[in-house]
Amino acid sequence: MSELTAGAVLPARRPGLPYPVVIGLLVLLLGGAVTAAIAAGSVALPAGQVWGILLHHLHPALADPTWTAVRETIVMDVRLPRVFLAGLIGAGLSVCGMALQALVRNPLADPMLLGVSSGASVGAVTVVVFGLTLFGAFSLPIAAFLGALAALVAVYFLARSGGRMTTVRLVLAGVAMAEVLSAVASFLVVTSNDPHKTQAAVRWMLGGLAGTTWTMVWIPAAAVLLGTVALLGVSRPLNLLLAGEEAAASLGLDVHRFRAALFVLVAMMIGTIVAVSGSIGFVGLIMPHVVRLLIGADHRRALPATALLGAAFLIVADLVARTLIAPEEIPVGIITALVGGPFFLWLMRRRSQ
């Protein structure tokens, strides 16, 4: 067995940049995005001052305060929580997108396209409109989690027939589910007759990060960090899913149990994300795809990279959303859709060839 099969010249080494270089570049990109997003706004700050303030808060000895108290407040209490949340959400949506794509074995999956985000919106809107407080501060994320889980399980089993899942069925089931659930959420908002609640509920329909405070950040932060670490822990089983259910079973994966765990994990992340930001689409579609082009589909390498890229992307998108027509704000979901919609169509066309 020595002769090589005739055919195209095949690379002996993985093409593209080495993995540590890619990760290094993504970390730099994220650092740049964070700096730019904290510096920009109605009061523009130099990048040096941004880092001075951040380092001073990390440890007072790291930087001498040469700035006014107002500027410190702007950085620490206004811009940093928002940038932090945008990064978390970008990372969370991206790793969830990647996990969903492995789950359905289709690179066209995304939390919003599959109706998962709409399910979470219905849960969140229900809590707000009916003033439910069964679980205190956790009522909103828990309701959003349950809505996301129900939508995900429903779409998954609607799209499957005979153990197989075609792209057409998956996209149609996802779109139909998203439409129906968005309509339900809109109906709840419109019929609530309470202008204050209506205003609060609109946040979930369009997707936005305006008015972010530190108190909103901790629940999604915990969910995204735990969820991402858990996904990293199952990156080998995620690879097995790409090989198909039969092969995954023969390689020692309990497919049914693993799938159920993924449903819960993704719904938890999406639920807590949507509870603070609403439906932000296409991030979970684009980032995994770009990362796979850069470093391949192995989840052990792709998951950390997609988290970094997603964080940087949403921080920049949110920066655009709040500065493009300042002092007015555009919901960030509109920006991601403007970028992501064409990308989705391009991807669909490319795949059908």
Partner 1 sequence: MTLIVDDVSVRIGGRDLVRQVSLEVAEGEMLGLAGPNGAGKSTLLRTLYRSRKPTSGRVLLDGEDVWHMPSGWVARRLAAVLQETGGDFELSVYDVVAMGRTPHKRAFDGDNAADKAIIADALERLDVAGLAHAPFDRLSGGEKQRVLIARALAQRPTTMVLDEPTNHLDLRHQLDALNLVRGLGVTAVVALHDLNMAAAFCDRICVMDAGQVVALGTPADVLTPALLAEVYRVDAEVALHPETGVPQVTLRTGGSRVTN
Scanning residues 202 to 221, which ones bind partner 1 (CB under 8 A)? none
Residue 297 binding partner 1, by CB under 8 A: yes
Residue 245 binding partner 1, by CB under 8 A: yes
Residue 14 binding partner 1, by CB under 8 A: yes
39 or 241: CB nearest partner 1: 241
Quote the CA–CA distance of 47 and 51 in Å, as a whole number: 6
Quote the CA–CA distance of 272 and 301 in Å, as a whole number: 25
Tell me how far, at minimum, the Cβ of 21 lies from partner 1, in Å.
17
Tell me how far, at minimum, the Cβ of 271 lies from partner 1, in Å.
24
Q: Report the amino acid identity of residue 67.
A: W
Residue 292 binding partner 1, by CB under 8 A: yes
Residue 298 binding partner 1, by CB under 8 A: yes
Quote the CA–CA distance of 270 and 115 in Å, as a whole number: 11
Tell me how far, at minimum, the Cβ of 280 lies from partner 1, in Å.
24
Stretch that binds partner 1, among 43-51, 84-92, 126-134, 248-256 (CB under 8 A): 248-256
Stretch that binds partner 1, among 35-43, 57-65, 105-113, 116-124 (CB under 8 A): 105-113
Tell me how far, at minimum, the Cβ of 158 lies from partner 1, in Å.
20
- Counting beta carbons within 10 angstroms of the beta carbon of residue 71, is it exposed (0 to 12), middle (13 to 18) or buried (19 or more)? middle
Taking residues 107 to 136 in sequence order and writing x for each that binds partner 1 by CB under 8 A, - otherwise, the string is x-----------------------------
Residue 233 binding partner 1, by CB under 8 A: yes
Answer whether 270's CB lies under 8 Å from 111's CB. yes
Quote the CA–CA distance of 189 and 334 in Å, as a whole number: 20
Give how far Cα 8 sits from Cα of 64, 74, 255, 351, Å: 61, 58, 36, 21
300 or 326: CB nearest partner 1: 300
Residue 72 binding partner 1, by CB under 8 A: no
Answer whether 111's CB lies under 8 Å from 262's CB. no
Choosing from 222, 250, 338, 342, the residue that interacts with partner 1 (CB under 8 A) is 250
- Radius of gyration (Cα) for the chain, nearest Å? 21
47 or 249: CB nearest partner 1: 249
Nearest to 291 by CA among 90, 154, 56, 136: 90
Tell me how far, at minimum, the Cβ of 260 lies from partner 1, in Å.
15
Residue 163 binding partner 1, by CB under 8 A: no
- Taking the CA of residue 310 as centre, how many other CA atoms within 13 Å lie in the half-sphere pointing to its CB? 32
32 or 296: CB nearest partner 1: 296
Residue that the structure tokens 């010249």 belong to: 9
Give how far Cα 276 sits from Cα of 101, 202, 203, 207, 224, Å: 24, 12, 9, 9, 12
Q: Is 161 helix (H, G, I), strand (E, B) or coil?
A: strand
The residues that touch partner 1, with contacts defined as CB under 8 A, are 1-5, 7, 10-15, 101, 105-107, 232-234, 236-237, 239-240, 242-247, 249-254, 292-293, 296-298, 300, 351
